[in-house]
Structure 1
């Protein structure tokens, strides 16, 4: 919701063809004027306030605008540039480790090999993307010099029902670890081998299942004098643990 980002900045994206109007957007000193790409595209707008799904913005020249978002949901042509700036401060020139590489793609023709899972990469640039739902573009480089890119959602701002069905794949935590997982998760060689192969086996520890399937939707826990029993819920599948060892799988 943009109402939760008062004071944050948004980049106005191109709204299709040059003749397409930014419907619902008005400049307050010319409320009857229709606004097109040449009026808005590329401007940086700051959220001033929100009232009953009408948002107020101000640009760098102190012109004010309103946008009536009566349908609710995303505003397709506004990209959260504050997310980009904050992410750059956190991660530019820092190391990340690959969690899942399926949304990565080569950054240029010279780079054909994507980084493997758990491989360390260096963030060499962070840029605005061209899609509001995944506003932050990461460009990363492996130790061998291969570069790849992906655009991610880092805050869920301005990202609603319109997001593609596999939107969770484009969250930061789905693609990257910010710490070396081999130092974070203390697993046996057999468990690491299963994680790399994305295989689940009876007896595997909870951290290994989490690395294979991601965080569960819910964990139900029972503690007795003899054991800690847990039920991990993934949709309609259930994984049962006793003292952190997988005992039963119910699909």
Structure 2
């Protein structure tokens, strides 16, 4: 029968957890802190945290003009993201990590095993790995 199956699917859909950008900072009585997407246990101090979503890069997909050996020469820690892009062009790959603290990007120049990595947080180069 179609109606019981439809009702079952509707009830099943209602039981699925809703997705959200909410996060919680939970602190236990002994001072241990954890971050979670679920509400804190009742015996923990709780703080709601909003997660900022960063828009994807607006740079065009032009080939990079840096080899993996040149990245450390042309890009420096503290450099603005736009300046790093001007210095080395569009990376061969961009990996994004979203945490409770924000979004970190890893720009990859070159291919393994000859890759160089530029790490960017809040629009600023924070680390370079070659």
| Common fold by TM > 0.5 | no
- Place the TM-score, normalised by the shorter chain, in its bin: 0.3 to 0.5
1 or 2 for the larger relative contact order (CA 8 Å, sep ≥6)? 2
Scaled by the length of structure 2, what TM-score is found? 0.39
- TM-score, structure 1 normalization: 0.21
